[in-house]
Each structure stands twice: as C-alpha cells, then as structure tokens.
Amino acid sequence: MKNTILDDEDFAFFRENGFLIKRDFLPRSFMEDANEFVDQFAKTKVEEWFAAGLLKEAALGKFSNYRESFIDIWQLAGMPKYSRQIHHYSIHPSMYKLLNDETLLKAVKKLLAAERVYAGGTQNYRVKSGLLPWAVLDWHVDRYYWEEHEDPDFEFLICWFPLQDMIDDGGGVEVIPLSERSGYDLRHQRKDVNIPSALLEGMESIKARLNTGDMLFFNSRVIHRSITYKHLQPFWSIDLRYESEDYPSTDTQKYGFLVDGGSRKTLNTWLKKKEPKNQPV
Ligand SMILES: O=C(O)CCC(=O)C(=O)O
C-alpha cells in the first residue's frame, strides 16, 4: 500500500519548514511515466549525436538501453557540451502524463492551498555522473529565477524525485528548513541567485536521501543545493513545478498549462508551446 495521503502532520511540517519528504508516495504508474519521459529524452539525444556524425552505428549497436548507458554513449560521442533546453525537450506527451498524475495533484493542491493549479513552465530532468561536470547547483532559492520573486503573494511548489534508489546522498538535494533568513532577506544582501555559504553558517540542513517512489516537496523560498554525485553510473532525477490558479508567473503563462485532468485539447495547446531546437548537439 502506497503512502499517498498527506495528513495533517505532513501539512503542518510543510507549513513550518517549507519542505516535506514523503516516502513511498509515488504510484507505480507515475514512475512508469517518468521512466518513459527519460527514456525518450535519452533516445532523442543519442539519435541527435548519431545524426551529427558523432556516433557510428556499429558502436551504438552494443547498447540496448540508452538511458542506462547514457554516460558511456556521451563519452563515445566525444562528450558534447549540450544544454537541457527545457522548453524544447520537456514539452512532451510523457511529461504531460506525469504532470497530470492524480496522486501528485492532490498533494500539490493541498500544499499550494489551491483548488486548481498550473503546471509551471519549468520542468527539469537531470542526469548526473561523477564524469559529468554539470548539474551541481550551489546554495540558492528557486524564486530568484522568477520575474515575480519580489511579490510576497507569489509562490510555487517544487516536486523533486529520483528515478532510482540513491546509493548515498549524492545526486540528491540538501535543504535548509525555512527560517527568518529564508527568502527575501538574502536577496537584499545579494542580487545573485547563489547564496554565499558564509551567510548560512550555523543553519541546520537536511540531506534528502530518497528511494524510487519517494518525493521531496519544497516551496520557492527554501534554500537548497545539489549534493555532488561521485559515482560513474548515470543518476536521473526530475523536478516538477506547480503554481496556484490565482497567480501564474510569466514563465508559466508562456510555457505551462492550467491542469484540467489531462485533456487532449490542453495537451495539443501545450505541445504548440514547444520551443524550436536551438542548441548544439
Ligand atoms: O537536482 C539538483 O541537483 C538540484 C535541483 C535544484 O536545485 C532545483 O531544482 O532548483
């Protein structure tokens, strides 16, 4: 039996700390959709490298699972420096299914205190490996990235989960429970997105070590950072964002959608928001 209901204790914890780790929360069908999304992304990327002449058919033939062998294939292709270009790759039917998951939406609505929600414009998927220099974010607060960050009424929710059990903390996220130093105060001291660690001295932090099916929820004011992943096998994670119906950000109006139970019409409108590919392979 999955642990899919957010109870009063969960809700109170989230209100106080700005984050919540919900263990064994995600249904199997959600994880299948997540795997489908990442599988198709890995396949697309490998096909792009192949089409650009970075990979030979004979070499590629020995890999049966591009997602699991992603780092090996990336090395074989000459380690191309690519950006995730999220508004191109994440606007996809499998991501749409994920964003419409009923279990997740119930929790999201409760945490955002909203009857209806927008799936945000920024949905991330990340591959980590000790061989990859990217994808390690220093202490920051997500709202600083948003145009609306100065407005105290603006809020959003981040839902971060791994696609496999974590071997240790690496690849995960370290969060600092909300305190008087969270959010706006730090922005006044520095207009940068990254927060100097000297400002965080003495603050308690939690390293979220998650297994498949676990979810880390946090709000846009929570100070957090990536935990460096040192292993060689690829580690995949996804972070989804939702906003209340009352206050969709510019980013969400441009690249997100109002969640309506997964209708084909909304999907088709959303797919039209996909940006053309504009990055090197
Ligand atoms: O997955 C990570 O390493 C960090 C994610 C993160 O910091 C974010 O989504 O803002």
209 found inside a domain: yes
Task: Work out the percent of the chain whose per-residue pLDDT is above 70.
Answer: 94
Question: Ligand 1 mean position to 6 CA, how many Å?
Answer: 23
Residue 243 resides in a domain: yes
| Residue 30 within any structural domain of the chain | yes
- On whether residue 276 sits in a domain, the answer given is no
In Å, how far from its chain's centre is CA 274? 18
Classify residue 53: in a domain, yes or no: yes
Strand 117-119, strand 206-208: pairing: unpaired
Structural domain count, the chain: 1
Q: Which atom of ligand 1 is nearest to the CA of 239?
A: 9
Distance from the Cα of residue 91 to its chain's centroid: 13
Res 255 pLDDT > 80: yes
* pLDDT tens digits, 124-166: 999 999 888 776 899 989 988 898 988 989 999 999 999 999 9
Q: The domain that contains 198 carries what CATH number?
A: 2.60.120.620
Ligand 1 atom nearest the C-alpha of 227 is 3
Please check whether residue 83 lies inside any domain of the structure: yes
Position 244 scores a pLDDT of 96
Look at ligand 1, atom 7, and give the residue with the nearest C-alpha.
225
In a domain, 277, yes or no: no
Domain that holds residue 255: 8-271
- What are the φ/ψ torsions at residue 56 (nearest 5 degrees)? -100, 145
State the first-to-last Cα distance of the chain, in angstroms, to the nearest integer.
43
Q: How confident is the model at residue 59 (pLDDT cuts 50, 70, 90)?
A: confident
**Please, where are the H alpha helices in the chain?**
8-17, 28-51, 57-60, 70-76, 86-89, 93-99, 102-112, 184-189, 250-255, 264-271
* Inside any domain, residue 281: no
